[in-house]
Amino acid sequence: MYFPPLLGNEWETLSPDSLNWCENKIEDFYTFLDNKNTKAFILLKDGKIVLEKYFDGFTQDSTWYWASAGKSMTAILTGIAQEEGLLDIDDPTSDYLGTGWTSAPADKEALISIRHQLSMTSGLDDAFSFACTSPGCLKYKADAGTRWAYHNGPYTNITKVIEAATGKTYNQYFFNKISLKTGITGLWVQLGFNEILFSKARSMARYGLLIQNNGTWKNTPVLSDAQYFNDMVNPSQNINKSYGYLWWLNGGESYMLPRSQTVFPGMISPDAPEDMFAAMGKDAQYLNIAPSKGIVFVRMGESPDTSLVPISFNNEIWHHINGLECAPNSTGEKIKNELHIYPNPVGDYLKIDIPENIGKYSLQVFDVFGKEIFRAENDLEIDVSGFLDGVYFLKLRSGKREWSNVFIKE
């Protein structure tokens, strides 16, 4: 695996031709990204740059925010602090923040550990105040470990835990443990209650390369604790089976979304490799890592749609990557085995591109509460003009086989 030098802009490239990727398809892909308000896109293969494109006046030296994709950086910093013996993720959070960091009853607050913050299972009420970190905002909803809810407030307090445990500011610890060893540059900035990482796109790509290599930069260990690393990129609890320690995981049998308690069947990105995992943030700040393919990609930009964490757009990117090859394989045209829907987000009519050779099939649409609101047989288009704006789940059944996808009505 290739690693760029710690300093400077030198970074080896790999020709798309070596992957049998067609130039016209790449240009179509760039048009798609541009139309989705993308600022920067980088794709690495085994560490080398295959695709790098900037849009709308953005350049290699421009900085952008990671939004919640920065949570993944907090995950590795927590692991490093534990490896150094400065904290234990099974410690109660109150050991570092003091009692009363929430407004939960004392016995309920004492149940919350750093592990619960990492896995989004603090049990604090995400419906009351999503980002607020003040004790009055962090109200008891359920016992820690019994409820999964994507909740910024308890997460952000991990940065305070690390500062208390290390005696360093968050930026100092990030610089000493990450930047000096990897060349990853950036700055954590407090915006309201949130701590947001800003960096160049290539720094995010460097981070993807570090994670692809299991926490080691070339021959320099950054996180040596293999058990923690493995736990970080595997399901961290049995409620949302597609969430690790602040990383989104593909390949699970089900997943949950922010601001919802619905459990959706299937993978978060069915067009991506099953071993893909991702850092995802507001407005589609993406870092995807697919170890089996040797692929890392970065997408920075403005919002492509209206969702809090736009998961469906991430899958669309993989759909385009899968279509970059110039020619079908020697056995003829590849048989489609995925369910694709477009446009997404949708206003009036949702078009359905079904898998090939499936025969008769049924379609069902469910809302975020799991209630079926539409059913049809063998249709290739659904009139959603009467649906309320929001997130919906589409399921296609043919015999014993099932396919699923998520769309947004706006």
**Token pair recorded at residue 251:** 């390949």
Topology at the third CATH level for domain 63-323: Beta-lactamase (3.40.710)
Provide mean pLDDT across the span 67-95.
Answer: 99
Topology at the third CATH level for domain 340-409: Immunoglobulin-like (2.60.40)
13: left (phi over 0), alpha (psi -120 to 50) or beta: beta
Task: Decide: helix, strand or coil at residue 397.
Answer: strand
Q: Is the pTM of this model over 0.95?
A: no
**Token pair recorded at residue 249:** 């995981």
Examine residue 258 and say whether the peptide bond preceding it is cis (omega within 30 degrees of 0).
no
What's the CA angle centered on 206, arms 233 and 36, to 5 degrees? 85
**Token pair recorded at residue 289:** 């890592």
Query: What percentage of residues in the chain have a pLDDT greater than 70?
Result: 96
**Token pair recorded at residue 116:** 């619960």
Do residues 74 and 337 make contact, with C-beta atoms less than 8 angstroms apart? Answer: no
Decide whether 63-323 matches 340-409 in CATH topology.
no
Give the residue with greater pLDDT, 150 vs 305: 150
- Provide the residue ranges of all domains of the chain, joining segments of one domain with +: 63-323, 340-409
Q: Is the dihedral of CA 203, 206, 208, 211 positive or negative?
A: negative
Average model confidence (pLDDT) for the chain? 93
Query: What gap in Å lies between CA 5 and CA 3, rounded to an integer?
Result: 7
Q: What is the pLDDT of residues 117-172, one digit of tens each?
A: 999 999 999 998 899 999 999 999 999 999 999 999 999 999 999 999 999 999 99
pLDDT band of residue 331 (cuts 50, 70, 90) is very low
pLDDT the model gives residue 332: 41
Q: What is the pLDDT of residues 251-274, one digit of tens each?
A: 999 999 998 999 999 999 999 999
Query: What gap in Å lies between CA 334 and CA 330, rounded to an integer?
Result: 9
- Residue 361 makes CB contacts below 8 A (sequence gap 6+) with 354, 377, 378, 396, 397, 398
